Amino acid sequence: MRSRVFLDSSVVIAALLSREGGSYHVLSRFSDAFVFEINEYVFEEVRRSKERKFASKPALLSNLFSIIALADITIVPNPDKEIVRIAGAAISKKDAPVLASALLGSGFLLTLDNEFFLPTVTALAKERDILILKPGDFIRRLGL
C-alpha cells in the first residue's frame, strides 16, 4: 500500500511556478509510489493565491489542473472542526486545516512553510507518526 503524502499549498504553488524545484520534482516523479492529497481548503488557498499574486499569469489555473492530474492528487474533504481545533493548539489558525488533514492518516506532510517546523507542530506530528518535510528533504530521504 502506498504511503499518503499531504501537500501544503506552498508545495503546489512552487510546483506551478517552476519545473526546476523539488516541489515539481516530487509531484512529477513519485505519484506511482505515494498517494498525494490536498483538502478543499488547500485547493481554495492555491486558487486565491493565484488570483491575488499571479493574476498576470492566467495559465497558472489550467496548470493547476494539469499538476493535479499529473501527480494524481486526491482532493479530500476538509477535516471536521474537532481535529482542526486540536491542530490549532499547535499552529496558526490559517494552517490548522492543513495540519488537521495530515493528522488523519498521512505518513508525510510536505511544506515550504517554516511554521510547520515549530516544536509544537513537530511534537503533534510525531505523536501521529507523521514526518513533516520540505520537498528537497523528502527527495533526499528517498535516497535520490
Helix (H) or strand (E) segment spanning residue 138: helix 135-141
pLDDT at 73: 97
Among 56, 52, 49, 39, which residue's Cα sits nearest to residue 15?
49
99 CB neighbour count, 10 Å cutoff: 29
15-24, 87-96, 105-114: least confidently modelled range: 15-24
pLDDT at 61: 66
pLDDT at 52: 74
Q: Grid coordinates representing 43?
A: 485547493
Mean pLDDT for the chain overall: 93
What domains does the chain contain, in order, with CATH numbers? 3-141 (3.40.50.1010)
Instruction: Provide the whole-model pTM.
Output: 0.93
